[in-house]
Amino acid sequence: MKKFILIITSSIIATGLISCSTDNSPQPEPMPKIQNSATLKSGWVQSSLKLCAAGSFVPTLFDNAIFTADNDGYIYKLDPTDGSIINEFHVSRDLSSGTGVSGGVVFVTTKDAYLLAIDKGTGKIRWQAQLPTVSIEAPQATSDIVIVRTNDAEVLAFNINDGTPVWSYQKPIPPLTLRVQNTFQVIGNEVVAIGLPGGKLALLNLHTGTPIWENYIAIPEGATDLDKITDIGMRPVLDNKIMCVASYNGKIACLDAISSNVIWQKKFSTAQGLVIDEQNVYAVSQDGVIYAFDKATGAQIWQNKTMQYRSMSIPALLGNGVLVVDNDGYVHMFNRNDGQEMARISTSLSGGVSYPMVRDNGVVYQSAGGYVALIKNY
């Protein structure tokens, strides 16, 4: 049976790029005026890079430096304090993902389905490993293993020193799946949590690939393959032994990370992802409504519909706020307690942004237009 990958991203839907006909989708209301109760500013914006990259090119913070890459094979090392370029190099390959970093090596994947290990001092390729299919998701590395997930949902581990294959993990996938960019998370030096097509969540031993547990968060339902898409298109999030995750056209749920028993779940659809703190789970629905749920019970704390039908990013936590970026480059901060918008600024981060990289003093994004920026709360 042939498998098809469906590209469904909020930015594409919002800008109407999936059709040449009249866009009949619901349109957002004008943004309401707000009374700022917090202050957002661009700590710095790096606009002099040769970056040409979609939101899948996630920057990485390692050893007090930011590493980022683009489609054309450029890799940059930036100073996180001011965004200035510390080093740059070019590999003569078309890249398909952002960076993973460990020790003296930067890891990226290519459009011809290779994993590259690049010396972060010289820019030379130390080793390369052939992948079964292309990967658009940034590799994640520990001190001895680098993990990659391919577009057909196969997860592979390689020895960090020479690229020797260590293990692989793959489950049968539905006929139609999403092309997702952030689906797994290495946790410590022991396990990796993976969201899969068809609504399955798995926790694997990092060193052997052996499943510790597997559980369905959502069950495919409906008359057509399109209706049955319930892919988990986000990184599972862990806090104090509670793992939370959400799926497209499925559910949002929190589980006991040890036993995989579901603590609570409810119907929900998102391709953006979620973030959690000590009390709540914050998520943006597929239609742009922002929610807060009680982490322990799943009870809805608040919702904010003022951004409905706008293309919204994965949420991030900054200060007492929940940060999201819309497709026009506006950065919005919502109060964690009541969901009211606290601050808003216009930035160059239009066209969609990467998975947020949270630092002590702000959040770093890479935009589809190639800008890298630090957003701070003063």
pLDDT tens string 16-34: 222 334 457 788 889 999 9
Q: What's the pLDDT score for residue 2? A: 41
Q: Which of 231, 258, 237, 116 is nearest to 186 (CA)?
A: 237
Cα dihedral across residues 130, 133, 138, 139: positive or negative: negative
User: Side by side, which strands form the sheet with 211-216?
Assistant: 184-187, 191-195, 200-205, 211-216
Whether residue 241 is contained in a domain is answered as yes
Whether residue 311 is contained in a domain is answered as yes
Token representation of residue 138: 């940034």
Whether residue 274 is contained in a domain is answered as yes
Whether residue 24 is contained in a domain is answered as no
Is residue 371 a contact partner of residue 46, using CB atoms and an 8 Å limit?
yes
Please state the domain count of the chain.
1
Range of the domain at 115: 39-46+53-377
The mean pLDDT of 276-290, rounded to a whole number, is 94
Q: What's the pLDDT score for residue 51? A: 63
Look at 14 and 1; give whichever has higher pLDDT.
Answer: 1
Q: Which of 164, 119, 50, 83 is nearest to 365 (CA)?
A: 83
Whether residue 14 is contained in a domain is answered as no
Q: What's the pLDDT score for residue 378? A: 81
Three-state secondary structure call for residue 373: strand
Task: Please name the amino acid found at residue 228.
Answer: K
Whether residue 134 is contained in a domain is answered as yes
Is residue 373 a contact partner of residue 350, using CB atoms and an 8 Å limit?
no
Q: What's the pLDDT score for residue 249? A: 72
**Within 13 A of 213's CA, how many CA atoms are on the CB side?**
12
Whether residue 20 is contained in a domain is answered as no
Q: What's the pLDDT score for residue 230? A: 60
* DSSP state for residue 81 in the 8-state scheme: T
Whether residue 9 is contained in a domain is answered as no
Q: What pTM did the predictor assign?
A: 0.88
Instruction: Decide if pLDDT at 80 tops 90.
Output: yes
**The Cα angle at residue 202 between residues 107 and 243, in degrees rounded to 5:** 95
pLDDT tens string 294-336: 999 999 999 999 999 988 999 999 999 999 999 999 999 999 9
Look at 18 and 107; give whichever has higher pLDDT.
Answer: 107
The mean pLDDT of 193-218, rounded to a whole number, is 87
Rounded mean pLDDT of the chain? 85
Instruction: Decide if pLDDT at 178 tops 60.
Output: no
pLDDT tens string 153-175: 899 999 999 999 999 999 876 55
CATH number of 221's domain: 2.130.10.10
